Amino acid sequence: MSKRKGDLLAFLKRHRLDRHAGVLSETGVDLDSLGLLTEGDLKELGLPVGDRRKLLFAASKLPGPAIGYLQSDFEGLLAERRHLTILFCDMVGSTALSKRLDPEDFADVIRAYTLRTKAAIERFGGHVAKVMGDGVLALFGYPSAHEDDVERAVLAALDCLKANRNAPIRTETGDRIEVQVRIGLHSGLAVVGALDAGTRSNDIVGDAPNIAQLLQSVAAPGEILVSPQIQKLAGERFEYEALEPRILKGIPELITPYRVRREIKTKTRFELRNRRSLAPLIGRSDELERLLDCWARTKAGSGQAILIAGPAGIGKSRLSSAFLDAIRTESKDVLTFQCSPHHTGTPLRPVVTRLTRELEALVATGEPSLLDAASAWLGPKEDPDAKGLALLTALLSIDAAERAVTLDMTPRQQMEETLLLLVSHSIAMAQQRPLLLLFEDMHWADPTTLRLVDLYRKKLTGESVMLIATSRSGAEHGPPPLDLPLEIRLDRLPDPVVMDLVRNVAHPYEIPPETVRTIARRGEGVPLFIEELTKSVVERLISREFESEEATKDDHLVPDSLVDSLSARLDALPSAKHLAQIAAAIGHEVPQDLLQRVSGYAPDRFQAAVSELAQARVIRSFPETKDDPLVFGHALIQDVAYQLLLRKDRRDIHAKIVGALERDYKETCNQLPEVLARHCEECRRIEKAVRYLIDAGVKATHRSANIEALKHLQHARDLTRGKMNMATPEALALELEIESAIGTPLISVEGYTSRETIRAFERAEEISVELGDDQARFRALFGLWGHRWMAGYLDLSQRFAEEMLSLSENDSAPERRILAHRCAGSSCWIMGEFERTRYHFGQVKALTQDMDTRELADRFAVCPRVVAHVLGGYAMWLEGSKEEGASEVAVGLVRAYDMKHPYSMALSHSMAGGLKLLTADFEGLIEHTEALRAISKDRRFPFWLAYAEIFEGAALAEKGKFDEGRDKILKSIEAYNAMGVMIHRTMQLVQLSDIEVRKGNIRSATRWLDEAEAVGNQTGERQWFGLIRQRRARIDTRTQALGPSNQSVH
């Protein structure tokens, strides 16, 4: 026997309480901790009322430990950003008491009060950070977080009130001091730990402790006041009273304090957290059907025992709730037992809580006392069960000396008999009507409760009793702590089901589709995470007056309701937490060699830490080889690991990552510059981040990944304008590089005529003139030419082309001459100047004869040689060289496909399809139309998508669907108008005229031709004027053949 246990036994013998030595010793109580116990603790241990009072009085005389004992056990830990729940407890009237008492007596009172308060706080996993006279500041969520830290803090506050209220402190001089306290609680973000490396300070910085102390200061004696954040996060675990909103000193906004009245023990954890906003059950219909089938068998007299298992948040309690809802109208009894993480060592705690509640309800409805209620619970009064009453009252610590028999049995025998009593009572209930037993959160069950469930399992055969137990399981939690005949294992929800769940939780609010996809990606199929992420987005939508873009743009926000549980998993890591944080800074999939270089860990230490991460399921599995990356088990774990770091620590880690990548991973730097850009931005190397983003944008453009290119380049633009502090020439040069690079993807995605495209090229020209950079100005002129060409300002486009020719004429390299002739040729082509068209396109083909033009195509939206072939061929066809022209177009199409360049392919199909339309080869037209539409949808080319609708309209008219065909072409005109596009308008109008001719509406056909000619004269688009003249001639011939009386008047 240890010395302290021997001291405890001697103490108990001295006060004639040694019969309780066994139970106290088994629960780890020694003489040092005896004085920290409360009446509630002793009641849980099964001590009768009289002995509890005697022991508390005797323990109050024990000398307390030195005040130094109260120093925090986490001094010197490096500072972190933490979501904390702060408890501030103050003793009421201490100033007056200090004047009344001898200083030594007052010190004893403060010591006893502080120790009691500390014991209550630590009982629920809190940590006393500071003791300031009679004020106690405690943290929940640091240094170790728990998934229910907010609830723990409120429970600790209730225990603080109880511990200080129920046991007056006696001084050496005989004074009996009644102690009252007042408490304030708040939850929020704070920085906690040693702010200066190498010091042993224990700093707490942020609003959270201040608000907790302010709430305490306005609380009445014996009152607990909590902030709205606490009231929201703790759910309905407690009963509150909202007080009048008020301004607290130094806090600008009104705060509504809530007075905590009591803990609610009549509901399960799931019911308390979801009573107001229960999401619909989605994706679990098969599992629900299995439960309903088991219930049908139960009602037929075949007892069932089912385990619902799965990871935290997967929906175990939600499934059991849905099952209860499905059978709510049926005749039955339901007994629910809720296990608790705070009482895993308290025998039969879920049963004791349930039975105590039932007996109190009997007293409330007429039974004179708890003893009478216990007797009534056992059965009819005319048939008293003395032994059963003795077992039940002993279990519930009810004084039954006057009625119950003495139990002459060992503690083990007594517990076994108690379990048999509980089971037989349940079976007796089932004789009247079916009984459902629901044991929630069995992963927190004490060993005796597990034994009870196993006993139920053995006794259910042939009884109308159904037992459902829920328990966490899986790699993160290990196997369930019990084995039942039927197990329903819940897995993550598939993506389509997740989308439905998000929409249902958000209803009636609309969440943008991209945000829905983000929630689905981050939630990774876990219903709780998905629901909380969705609610967080909806709350931001409401608070920001439905500005959806602002409310949903933060991809890495973790809801407060999830932070504690995720932080707890990281805090549980003995030595690998910091490695997890470094990995979180690197990314979701982390190369092992990079992580080891950045961390500086020796090989043995690194492998041990990785093994620890794998065992805790922070990463998905231990890598089989050194080349396998580490993958975070869940995106939210990664986000929380990163958010715990101070900003300065994040910057240091990202700087190390940049250094390692640039030094040892040059291929990654070349292939994925956007990765380097992110790390450079995070460590505030903004200029370098911008350069990497430009590189990423250019590389994406070369791959025709134009959406991605825009994302990189627009971000580079934002950084340049918002965060850079550079000299003007340097900043201008960098901005010019961005504006020059962004033009090509803008052309592909938004078109030449979009405001964003024009703005980019105009800004590029402005800067290039200021810097005297002719090459950059040439690129800007190219973009401005494209806008004027598309918008129908063809004379202006021709002038820009001529400027480009002038700038390029003295170049030794051919690139700018190729582009200048390509632009000049295109302007001449659309304006019907076919002789000059042949000249310019001839120059393009000559200059690109032996050249790989892929890079030019990537940089300037379309391949110039393909343009020369397909537009030049089209012009030849219009001039009368039909076979030669068609052959040229075909050559251009083949080249575009050889290059695999989508925009060049789309252009080629538009010209090839146009020739099929002119030759009335509608089968060939449909083939090119389908290809054009597919490319345009895949690559998001709105211009070419509208062009495909012209062809579709003509094909429909050919089938006799004149109105549908007309509507398609009108739709393409509307689309072009929305884009600011005017080219090809003459062709659209000629097609409308052709449809009217087919319908016999000669006058309408003529009006469309008149409009086409007017538009051509206005814009300069005279390419189709020859065809317009042909159409007029045909109409005239047809009119003369029909005669005036047969012409339609439409």
More confident residue, 822 or 619: 822
Written as six digits, the tokens of 243 are 């007080």
Write out pLDDT tens, residues 224-236.
999 999 998 887 7
Q: Above 90 in pLDDT, residue 187?
A: yes
Q: Which of 454, 471, 489 is the last residue of a domain?
A: 489
> Where residue 330 sits, what CATH number does that domain have?
3.40.50.300
The per-residue pLDDT for 975 is: 92
DSSP states of 127-142: EEEEEETTEEEEEESS
The per-residue pLDDT for 215 is: 94
Write out pLDDT tens, residues 101-158.
888 888 888 888 999 899 999 989 899 988 888 899 999 988 888 888 999 999 999 9
The C-alpha atoms of residue 572 and residue 69 are separated, in whole angstroms, by: 25
The per-residue pLDDT for 193 is: 79
Q: Above 50 in pLDDT, residue 69?
A: no
For residues 168-172, average pLDDT: 81
Written as six digits, the tokens of 90 are 């103050």
For residues 7-27, average pLDDT: 78
- Residue 338 and residue 453 in one domain: yes
Verify cis geometry, omega within 30 degrees of 0, for the bond prior to 479. no
Q: Above 90 in pLDDT, residue 910?
A: yes
Q: Above 90 in pLDDT, residue 219?
A: yes
Written as six digits, the tokens of 816 are 């700018």
- Residue 77 and residue 47 in one domain: no
The per-residue pLDDT for 289 is: 94
- The verdict on residue 892 lying in a domain is no
Which CB contacts under 8 angstroms, 24+ apart, belong to 886-895? 886/915, 889/915, 892/865, 892/866, 892/867, 892/868, 895/863, 895/865, 895/866, 895/869
**How many CB atoms sit inside 10 A of residue 994's CB?**
21
The per-residue pLDDT for 65 is: 38
More confident residue, 733 or 323: 323
For residues 389-400, average pLDDT: 88
Q: Above 70 in pLDDT, residue 266?
A: no
Q: Which of 561, 583, 605 is the last residue of a domain?
A: 561
Q: Above 70 in pLDDT, residue 986?
A: yes
- Residue 612 and residue 634 in one domain: yes
pLDDT > 70: percent of the chain: 90
More confident residue, 692 or 572: 692
The C-alpha atoms of residue 875 and residue 911 are separated, in whole angstroms, by: 10
Q: How many domains does the chain have?
A: 6
- Kindly report the average pLDDT of the chain as a whole number: 85
Q: Above 80 in pLDDT, residue 752?
A: no
Answer yes or no: are the C-beta atoms of 706 and 939 closer than 8 Å: yes
- Residue 130 and residue 190 in one domain: yes
> Where residue 652 sits, what CATH number does that domain have?
1.10.10
Angle CA 575–579–581, to nearest 5: 115
Which of 51-60, 324-333, 746-755, 876-885 has the least mean pLDDT?
A: 51-60
Written as six digits, the tokens of 935 are 């490319």
DSSP SS3 for 184: strand
- Residue 450 and residue 343 in one domain: yes
Angle CA 544–550–553, to nearest 5: 135
The C-alpha atoms of residue 184 and residue 157 are separated, in whole angstroms, by: 9
The per-residue pLDDT for 724 is: 59
782 lies in which domain range?
A: 685-791
- Per-residue b/e over 532-562, b at no fewer than 16 CB within 10 Å? bbbbbbbebbeeeeeebeebbeeeeebbbbb
Written as six digits, the tokens of 811 are 């170049």
Q: Which residues contact 524 (CB under 8 A, 6 or more apart)?
A: 492, 634, 635
Answer yes or no: are the C-beta atoms of 642 and 634 closer than 8 Å: no
* DSSP designation for 574: S
Q: How confident is the model at residue 253 (pLDDT cuts 50, 70, 90)?
A: confident
The C-alpha atoms of residue 883 and residue 274 are separated, in whole angstroms, by: 74
The C-alpha atoms of residue 115 and residue 133 are separated, in whole angstroms, by: 13
The C-alpha atoms of residue 357 and residue 831 are separated, in whole angstroms, by: 90
Q: Above 90 in pLDDT, residue 913?
A: yes
More confident residue, 635 or 492: 492
CA distances from 1012 to 28, 540, 978, 996, 1016 (A): 96, 52, 19, 14, 6
Spatial CA neighbour of 591 closest among 625, 616, 547, 566: 625
Spatial CA neighbour of 163 closest among 128, 131, 121, 126: 121
Strands 465-472 and 304-310: parallel
Q: How confident is the model at residue 41 (pLDDT cuts 50, 70, 90)?
A: low
The per-residue pLDDT for 74 is: 45
The per-residue pLDDT for 1043 is: 59
Q: Above 80 in pLDDT, residue 274?
A: no
The per-residue pLDDT for 521 is: 82
Q: Which residues contact 762 (CB under 8 A, 6 or more apart)?
A: 780, 784
For residues 300-307, average pLDDT: 94
CA distances from 847 to 634, 874, 900 (A): 55, 21, 21
> Where residue 722 sits, what CATH number does that domain have?
1.25.40.10
What string of H, E and C letters represents the secondary structure of 467-494? EEEEEECECCCECCCCCCCEEEECCCCC
- Residue 610 and residue 465 in one domain: no
Spatial CA neighbour of 91 closest among 112, 105, 72: 112
Q: Above 90 in pLDDT, residue 979?
A: no
The per-residue pLDDT for 1 is: 45
Which of 284-288, 733-737, 816-820, 828-832 has the least mean pLDDT?
A: 733-737
- Residue 55 and residue 72 in one domain: no
- The verdict on residue 973 lying in a domain is no
The C-alpha atoms of residue 979 and residue 993 are separated, in whole angstroms, by: 23
> Where residue 31 sits, what CATH number does that domain have?
1.10.150.50
The C-alpha atoms of residue 838 and residue 868 are separated, in whole angstroms, by: 9
- The verdict on residue 588 lying in a domain is yes
* Positions of E strands within 423-482: 435-440, 465-472
3-state helix, strand and coil shares in percent for the chain, rounded to the nearest 5: 60, 10, 30
- The verdict on residue 464 lying in a domain is yes
- Residue 7 and residue 142 in one domain: no
| The residue to which tokens 């103490």 are assigned | 11
Q: Which residues contact 47 (CB under 8 A, 6 or more apart)?
A: 20, 23, 55, 397
Q: Above 70 in pLDDT, residue 548?
A: no
pTM: 0.66
- The verdict on residue 996 lying in a domain is no
Kindly tell me the sign of the dihedral angle through the C-alpha atoms of 972, 975, 979, 985. positive
More confident residue, 492 or 867: 867
Q: Above 80 in pLDDT, residue 200?
A: no
Q: How confident is the model at residue 75 (pLDDT cuts 50, 70, 90)?
A: very low
- Residue 301 and residue 155 in one domain: no
CA distances from 311 to 36, 315, 470, 490, 569 (A): 36, 9, 11, 8, 13
Q: Which of 634, 664, 694 is the last residue of a domain?
A: 664
Q: Please, what is the angle between helix 834-847 and helix 815-830, to 10°?
A: 160
For residues 315-322, average pLDDT: 89
* Positions of E strands within 700-761: none
> What's the one-letter identity of residue 68?
G
> Where residue 202 sits, what CATH number does that domain have?
3.30.70.1230
CA distances from 892 to 29, 491, 844, 901 (A): 89, 53, 13, 12
- The verdict on residue 78 lying in a domain is yes
Q: Above 60 in pLDDT, residue 500?
A: yes
- Residue 164 and residue 97 in one domain: yes
- The verdict on residue 894 lying in a domain is no
Write out pLDDT tens, residues 850-865.
899 988 898 888 999 9
The per-residue pLDDT for 68 is: 32
341 phi/psi in degrees, rounded to 5 = -70, -15
Spatial CA neighbour of 939 closest among 785, 710, 737: 710
- Residue 474 and residue 532 in one domain: no
Q: Which residues contact 802 (CB under 8 A, 6 or more apart)?
A: 824
* DSSP designation for 263: E
195 phi/psi in degrees, rounded to 5 = -70, -30
The per-residue pLDDT for 617 is: 79
For residues 653-664, average pLDDT: 93
- Residue 418 and residue 473 in one domain: yes
Q: How confident is the model at residue 431 (pLDDT cuts 50, 70, 90)?
A: very high
Segment holding 227, helix H or strand E: none
Q: How confident is the model at residue 312 (pLDDT cuts 50, 70, 90)?
A: confident
The C-alpha atoms of residue 87 and residue 155 are separated, in whole angstroms, by: 11
Segment holding 1037, helix H or strand E: helix 1025-1042
Answer yes or no: are the C-beta atoms of 169 and 80 closer than 8 Å: no
The per-residue pLDDT for 39 is: 64
- The verdict on residue 952 lying in a domain is no
Which of 287-296, 617-626, 824-833, 967-976 has the least mean pLDDT?
A: 617-626
